[in-house]
A and B are shown apart, each in its own frame.
Chain A
Amino acid sequence: MEIPYIVTPRKDTGLFNSKIAIWLFLASEVMLFGGFFSAYIFLRLGADYPWPERALPVLPGLINTFVLIGSSVTVVFAWAALKMRQWGKFQLFMGITIICSVVFMVLKGIEYNVKLHHQAVRLNDYSVVEGHLGYKLKDGVHVEHGQKPNDGDFELNHHGKKIEENLIEFEASEITFNTVRYHKDWVEEMMARAAEKNATITLASTLELSDGKSPVKFEAGTVLDVSLLDSIRKAHLAARANNSDLRTDNLREQWKKAKAANPGKRDWEFAENVVIDQAAIADKLLPEQASIPFKVEPPVAFHFRPRDIQEAAESGALRDGTALKGKMLESPMVFHYVDAIDFRHLAMKAEEKGIDPEVAIENSMLLKENPVLKEAWDWHKGEIAKLEEKLLKDYGTHKDESGNEVADRVPTDTERYRIGWQDFVAKADGVGRGEEKIGIKEQFMGPDYEGREHEHTFPSHIVIPREEIQFASKFAPAWNTYYAIYFTMTGLHGLHVIGGALVLAYYLFCGKKMYLSNPEWLANRVEIGGLFWHFVDLVWIFLFPILYLM
């Protein structure tokens, strides 16, 4: 069947149909992104924490802007080439467009990856530490400054992966699994950990169950194994199914009897007196086992990710319903490298309470417990004093409403209360704030910790006690609403880039036949794909300044 008006325009609209369709789609896209821009403004105006202004490295965003603008030019050139019946040029320009889209997504991927491996933690006093966590060494030893452990020195989980020093350690003597919900991977990790410590995890009591046909017995002292838990779950579920059938059948029977005993009455008048005859089915019920207790001998320190456990001094509960008994061990978060400390939120809270932010910062746990951070803070204060002086000299003063002489320009809160990784570099290089030399790779990927280690650039081995942590996260959507909207908007935009690139790639690689049969048809389709591509560029033109520069 031939689709009408895809090459020649309709007389009433003056347009070919697919053009109307794409503009309708773009109008809906404007509303979609408009909603997200609206959400961004709302989140920013309503933020109850200092909004991270100009927090992202600009270079990746800038390069991506150039890449997208370039691809917008090449896609319109590709369309023009088709209109002029130049297949070779069309291939060239469309090929460049596709390459641009790949470059864009690769750069975006690198940007996301850097963020998702960057740790942040907000302490109870609202100071924020950012950096990279260390990995656990065997026997609880920490990696010290400048130390280069061998691969064999690290503690590994049962998947053979290193363990970040951000885990809750709990020395368990009893573990009770939820029969239905236990998480196999955690069970295996516990088994591996116990084996490593020469401890045994054994069934605490004998369980006598039935699989519905014959009795099954699980002897006390049986060593924990996933297949053991699976067998118990199977027996438990069979018993539960059997018992619920018995109860349902019995209730039906009771209902029939009640109906017969209450002729002429409405159901609701006697319904509340109809109950299961427990005595009649008691001897047919099979034993159920909703939880399975195990003993750990000797007790073993297991570690869990903070989000997986709710811990107390002598007990813990995992997300899969597993209950632990024993004792909680010290479980500090250890930053192998700190690349920023941020007191903006602390200063904001201090001002709300009428406390001088400078005093609050001096009294913060971070500065009191870590001389290296205190030293960095003192250096930073000196630099900000110099900046203040410079701004005063360059821009002068004016009189405020009360007639007081005030500086025209003053340092921002970010400058005043945040020591960023570039500041640590400036300090280590012995230059003033803002005079540091940062290479393109670092501007893109963030600080080169190991390359700068010999200069002791970044404070290392900073220990944050667990009880001081208010909230911790990678730079992921969970960290704050800024990162939530950043990932949402750029992620949605990235999906549009992928979608658009696939359509354009289809024209490039599968369009030759269409070109030979009717070049104008392909030109129209490329124009439609190009319109979408320009729209993707147009959205980025706003996203870039809003997310990276404001």
Chain B
Amino acid sequence: MSGPLRIVVVGGGPVAARLIQELRPALEAGAAHVTVLGEEPVPAYQRIRLGDVASGRVDGAALALLDVQDEELAGVVVRCGVRVVALDRDRKTVLLDRTSGTPGPSVPYDRLVLATGAHAVIPDFPVSGTVGRGISVPAHGDGDHPVGVMALRDLGEARRLHQAVRDAEPVVVLGGGVLGVEAALALAEVGAAVTLLHRGHVPLGGQLDPDSGRLLLRQLLAAGIQVRPDCGVQELVVAARAQDRATVHDGVPHLTAIRTTQGRRIPAALLVACTGVRPRDELAAAAGLDTLPRGGIVVDRNGRCPDDPSVFAVGDCAAVLGSRPSGLIGPGWDQARAAAGAFLAEAGVPAAVERDAAGRPVLTPTPTPTPAPTGRLDPIVVKSHTLSVACAGDLTADPWDPQGPSVSTWADPEAGQYLRIVTQGTRLLGFVSIGLPRSAAELSRHALTGTLPVADRSALLAMEHAAADRELGPEDVLCRCSGATAGQVHEAAVECATVDEVGGRCGAGTGCGTCRGRIEELLAGPPVRQPAGSLA
């Protein structure tokens, strides 16, 4: 191929940013040129941290993953606010929306990467209330949501939510999945009034076993979240203006409350719908590429479309080997790397090989995009400043089945603690940890390899708290530097008045000096002095 490989990336999110990073060797070799076409007005940022932006604990600017000028220097053109309307696979170009079409309405590519992500699916709620000059709105559902109904997928939404928090407006979060729980927790942790509505008896019902679900429910209530289990939105109640601050939307229906399926009316300036996402595969589908019925562009392990070797898909829009996208960032990163590897090979840039001191290549495992055959689990760690919740894998095994996997459980609801570990041999099949941060950290780490070698599970619990100092016996070394035992020091202390004198006799306290306090205590202790000579 003559000239650098022209790679066009549609979508400017975190997986696109990772792809650019992985392509660095090809960019440095001048073997590739990358154009990123992002729909959002800002370059890639760490979407997974939006909850912290909503709560105001993190400034959105701190989440930036790309700098347009730095990337330009590296050979990457990052265009923001650009909407792609169609792919022309025959001409190998992508067509841009006219309104964003500078410097041209189409962009040619040698390789196209679809990193379009997913969009939130917000149910069509019936609406009731009054707008404008007292005109009443009958309950209807035409897909156009009133102002105040939002997802939490981009910076604009996160900032809007933060505004509500600052204005002490009531917020309702709909959805008991990870995103819903995280959003509700983030708001409650900064003192905002928040209600969480979810289907099923417990939040995170799809990930947790019933007991840990009940504990999580209890902990969310304790965190100040109004949790309404087994509950959905019956209808939205709107008014012409939301309080007194919507000038641009004057006359447009604004959310003021929601009515739940249980018949309760809950005031709400914002309804944050965490009700699932759908992969954005419209461009691919319209271009005749294979997509899943429920969304997802079918690709191979390297992210390449089987129908068109010039087109790739990575991240939340990609269905690797036809399995539904997980929505997690880790697999997205792995896909970005796999696709970059394919491009490096095509561009003739040798993959960096690590060599040992003798010059032999070192074998490191290449992370395989999900679904991985290695038994690796993708852990879910709930992002919260107050509550430690982590889980992964399958928790449904019966603890009492001798033929089944091994199940260990620890529950202390009063202390807010629950731990369940499911293993088969050294394979980790699943776990949940609530209120046990150290165990959560260890187990989520093991989930990434899918193994758990330790036989005695109670060791994990023991690690939750630092080991306490124990009493020293006479044979135990008291001064590590000199090797003097507690017995020797005790003996010396009987005859000495100062720490230095003790040091002169047995060496204790003459090294690092950390035992000097102990020696002082011995010297100041109860008068155990015995008559001189009795020790001889």
Chains A and B belong together in one complex: no
**B contacts, CB < 8 Å to A:** none
